[in-house]
Structure 1
Amino acid sequence: MARSRAFCLLALFEVALLVLSACGSAGAPPTAANQPSATGAASQAAATSAAVQATQGMTEASTSAAVQVTQGATEAATSTAVQATQGMTKVTTSAAAAGCNIKPPAQPQEVTFLGWPGWDVDTYAKWLDDCNSVNNIKVNVRTMDNSSAVEQMKLAFSSGSASPYAIVHQSNSSIQQNAYKGWLRPLNDLIDTYRSQYNLNDIAQTHWDAATFDGKILGIPMQSNTILLMYRSDLFEKHNLKAPTNYDEISTACKALKSEPGITVPFALDLSAGWAWATAFFEAIRSEGGDFFAQGGNAPAFNSPQGVAALTKLKQVVDACMGTQGLAMGYEQFQAALRNGSVAFIHTWADGGAAMVDPSKSQFPNVIKFAPAAAVEPGGKLAGSAWDDYWSIPASYKGDPDLVFQMIMQVASPERQKEAAKLGLVTRTSVASSSSLPYATAAVETISKGVGAYPKSPALNVMETALGNYLPLVGTGELSPKDALQKAEADYIKEAKTQGFLK
């Protein structure tokens, strides 16, 4: 077998030499981008040793010339050699590295990504892994659930040592926590350097603004997300229902759908944990015209008539639609339940929409439809927040940030985002505006008419913790909305003063 493989390689080189002989010296010399590096040439020589021995007169220069002359055939020959020669080292020039067209660093660089699963990371991480084919770059991709990933970042960044991570996945919430502690590297200089090369103006300013703190851009916007209604249109038609536009209509629809065979929970939104309650409450209070913080500071504003009204409406939806079983379901669980037919409609993240219409994942791909998030009250702002996910570089990373930035840009190129846009909402305007996703229209409407992004405050984590401690007790009936907000406010003020956020 090895002997026949060597003869195949020999034949390929002989064909190349015949072409070279016919063309004489008319061909242009190879460009620097097409020439193998010293390491690449050595690997190529090792991999084709049988062919080299069989063609002793063949010099390294003639090989290079033959490769250039046979341009299109070269890739096929190289691919054949790779498949035929076990243990062969890849030829890794910046031009040959498929999907990662960057110049190899002079010194070895290990680039570790830390994030959590999702359509974006599952997709983008595969393309980041392409950079393993570039000389002197080793890529590691580590994913875990959101809470664990955020905790790992906190432990790494607070240690005072060099960050083991070169790229960290960030949400609207986590980027704030890390921004105010100085744990992320400002990217303004790299964005200015590469703005034209990577067409960074194609990413809308609203995305950049959400990642900007005190003028410092701390993340590259990679994907967009918001809250939508997803519903079984066949059941809604059967019961003469329209997609709800407010929380009262959600409760009304639940009363009609409770008796539907196979439906265990008519409607669900994520209230499975303290953080989930804080997110849902933020959307509801903004929809009611209130907010978390008083304008221009860290003083709490959620214990207000708007806050009580918002929490009261959430409790009504829990009682009419969800019960104990629905309260225990996280968004991944009830998204799966909509796909398998045990839930009739849900208020959830837009990026779960692709699976709803995928016949390999959904039992109802032809009847699950999408609508903008519902407002709490008729005519109010839609109770769907706007989110971005970012890729950031830790301030304590000791490797080459320029190289890491270029690697991120390889993943976030227009071509790659066109592929990603088949699965979720992306951040490049030229791509997002032409999306064919069935939920794209509903998502755009929610973002444009919704409650916007989380407020920026160094005390946000303190507030989320305080709210998360008490709001779930409203769902179970252990506290009234008014009592829960009073207790959360007292806890927030005490801790905010301890941490210096309030005087």
Structure 2
Amino acid sequence: MTIRPNVPMMKGATAALLLSSVASGALAQDAIRVISHRQPALEYYTQQMVEALPEGRVNVELMPIDKELELASITMSSESDAIDVLYLTDSSFKRFAANGWLEPIDDLWEKYSDEYDLDDFPQSVIDAVSYDGSIYAMPILTNTELFFYRKDLLDEAGIEPPETMDDYMAAASEMDSARRAGTIMSLKPVDAALNEAHWYMNAIGDGWFDEDWKPIFNNEAGVAAITRLKEMSEYAPRGFTAHANDESTINLQQGLATMGLQWFTRAAAMDNPEQSRVVDQIDWVAPPGGGARVANDGFAISAFSSGDREEMFKMMAEAASKESMQEGAKYAMPPRLSVLENAELAEQFRWYPAARAALESGKAFPAMPDFNDVGEIVTRHILRAVTGEAEVKEALDQAAAETEELLAGRGYYD
């Protein structure tokens, strides 16, 4: 696998120069350029793409999700062919598809359905990677957030795994100490903070919007949700406003935090003796109160790629094959029915029972192409509230006003 260093995100002429330089290098090698978020499951699946084609045909670049999305947005808004294939979350996928930045793959899906057993994907998953009636991405993983906790420490303290948000707060308070934080908390803008807030908005609040896309996150229940988030931050590690998945994973692995919300894809890392000091000490349940994020993510082909779309589709399909996903199940929940229904998974990977429970109680982000842009607004004001820069009600009211202005300008209201 060819993995380049993380690309620093810059604006304007600097970004254009950077993209021109990187694109020239990729084209000179006549290789398919794949960009993706860096996490264990995606390291595995991008490696499957590398192995699907002859050596040197695929270049993979892995980076934090916010940097990947910014790089992709800059590239595609300029209609550059510097990216061929990219990983997208469920929310970012809708925005990219709505902007016309992705290549529809319905014809290839039909052509290769038998060869790659594509009917093995449930319709709900196909719907999740479709927009306006067309399929745009190859499903690669179903991801859900779990509640990670130190079973050894809670057992020693006589504390049951929390089932409600009140239980969670009581346990975090009890376990918080100068040596070890009571809970992890991932509030780095935008993706990590939005994930954390999504859980509180569903477990305590009434969600994000009403049926007409009017914000309701600033109502009484929403204020209570973010007030609780602010209260919980007292038991979080220092620097939590700059923490995303990597930082929170490390805090759990190194025994620096006792519990908290984290993605299914990070579960295997807890038992990796080369990285973790807490092997066999972490356990999992569905997030207290329910409502944590569930996502169906995948890889899509850029509408501006000059590569062979059929070759790229087959590369993605090989990575998403039944055999590949059977092995990849240790890193992420596979969206194929034949793999999900394998009873051996729960025996082999001890976090699967909690994941199935989390899927039942979880909730996806609102199904709007502009939710990432809404997230930039909302997380900025939530952080103002959590850090004490503004009162919670004031911050959420301001976020709601800016959100409504944004959506009005994009035609959401009559």
Q: Which amino acid aligns with 1:427?
A: P
Does 2:318 correspond to 1:410? Answer: yes
Instruction: Show the counterpart of 1:243.
Output: 161
Does 2:40 correspond to 1:119? Answer: yes
Contact 1:127 1:411 in 2 (8 A): yes
Contact 1:458 1:501 in 2 (8 A): no
Question: Cα gap change, 1:316/1:301 in structure 2, threshold over 3 Å: closer, same or farther?
Answer: same
Q: Which amino acid aligns with 2:136?
A: L
Instruction: Show the counterpart of 1:316.
Output: 231
Question: Cα gap change, 1:144/1:325 in structure 2, threshold over 3 Å: closer, same or farther?
Answer: closer
Question: Cα gap change, 1:274/1:167 in structure 2, threshold over 3 Å: closer, same or farther?
Answer: closer
Q: Which amino acid aligns with 1:475?
A: V
In the alignment, the residues of structure 2 paired with residue 277 and residue 146 of structure 1 have an alpha-carbon distance, to the nearest angstrom, of 13
Question: Cα gap change, 1:139/1:331 in structure 2, threshold over 3 Å: closer, same or farther?
Answer: closer
CA deviations on 1:71-101 (whole Å, 9 max, x unpaired) are xxxxxxxxxxxxxxxxxxxxxxxxxxxxxxx
Q: Which amino acid aligns with 2:273?
A: P
Question: Cα gap change, 1:473/1:488 in structure 2, threshold over 3 Å: closer, same or farther?
Answer: same
Contact 2:144 2:292 in 1 (8 A): yes
CA deviations on 1:355-390 (whole Å, 9 max, x unpaired) are 111222211212211111111xxxxxx131101221
**TM-score under structure 2 length normalisation:** 0.86
2:398 to 481, 487, 501: 487
Q: What SS does the aligned partner of 2:183 have?
A: strand
In the alignment, the residues of structure 2 paired with residue 427 and residue 344 of structure 1 have an alpha-carbon distance, to the nearest angstrom, of 30
In the alignment, the residues of structure 2 paired with residue 415 and residue 233 of structure 1 have an alpha-carbon distance, to the nearest angstrom, of 33
For 1:73-84, what aligned pairs fall within 5 Å after superposition? none
Does 2:359 correspond to 1:447? Answer: yes
Instruction: Show the counterpart of 1:371.
Output: 285
In the alignment, the residues of structure 2 paired with residue 368 and residue 275 of structure 1 have an alpha-carbon distance, to the nearest angstrom, of 25
Identity %: 25
Question: Cα gap change, 1:490/1:243 in structure 2, threshold over 3 Å: closer, same or farther?
Answer: same
Per the TM alignment, residue 184 of structure 1 is displaced from its structure 2 partner at its CA by: 0.8
Question: Cα gap change, 1:332/1:144 in structure 2, threshold over 3 Å: closer, same or farther?
Answer: closer
- Stretch of structure 1 that moved more, 453-462 or 354-363: 453-462
Question: Cα gap change, 1:210/1:131 in structure 2, threshold over 3 Å: closer, same or farther?
Answer: closer
Instruction: Show the counterpart of 1:253.
Output: 171
Contact 2:205 2:221 in 1 (8 A): yes
**TM-score under structure 1 length normalisation:** 0.72
For 1:86-105, what aligned pairs fall within 5 Å after superposition? none
Instruction: Show the counterpart of 2:14.
Output: none
Contact 2:92 2:369 in 1 (8 A): no
In the alignment, the residues of structure 1 paired with residue 225 and residue 157 of structure 2 have an alpha-carbon distance, to the nearest angstrom, of 28
Does 2:255 correspond to 1:341? Answer: yes
In the alignment, the residues of structure 2 paired with residue 492 and residue 449 of structure 1 have an alpha-carbon distance, to the nearest angstrom, of 27
Runs (5+) with no aligned partner, structure 1: 1-107, 376-381
Does 2:88 correspond to 1:170? Answer: yes
Q: Which amino acid aligns with 1:141?
A: V
Contact 1:339 1:363 in 2 (8 A): yes
In the alignment, the residues of structure 1 paired with residue 205 and residue 244 of structure 2 have an alpha-carbon distance, to the nearest angstrom, of 27
CA root-mean-square deviation: 2.1
For 1:439-478, what aligned pairs fall within 5 Å after superposition? 439-450=351-362, 452-478=363-389
2:198 to 277, 282, 307: 282
Question: Cα gap change, 1:193/1:132 in structure 2, threshold over 3 Å: closer, same or farther?
Answer: closer
Does 2:262 correspond to 1:262? Answer: no
In the alignment, the residues of structure 2 paired with residue 151 and residue 289 of structure 1 have an alpha-carbon distance, to the nearest angstrom, of 30
Instruction: Show the counterpart of 1:6.
Output: none
Question: Cα gap change, 1:386/1:116 in structure 2, threshold over 3 Å: closer, same or farther?
Answer: same
Per the TM alignment, residue 325 of structure 1 is displaced from its structure 2 partner at its CA by: 4.3
Contact 1:423 1:437 in 2 (8 A): no
In the alignment, the residues of structure 1 paired with residue 283 and residue 215 of structure 2 have an alpha-carbon distance, to the nearest angstrom, of 38
Question: Cα gap change, 1:331/1:404 in structure 2, threshold over 3 Å: closer, same or farther?
Answer: closer
Per the TM alignment, residue 274 of structure 1 is displaced from its structure 2 partner at its CA by: 4.3
Greater relative contact order structure (CA < 8 Å, 6+ sep): 2
In the alignment, the residues of structure 2 paired with residue 366 and residue 278 of structure 1 have an alpha-carbon distance, to the nearest angstrom, of 30
Contact 2:144 2:358 in 1 (8 A): yes
Contact 2:32 2:84 in 1 (8 A): yes
Runs (5+) with no aligned partner, structure 2: 1-28
Equivalent residues, number: 382
Contact 2:37 2:87 in 1 (8 A): yes
Does 2:339 correspond to 1:431? Answer: yes
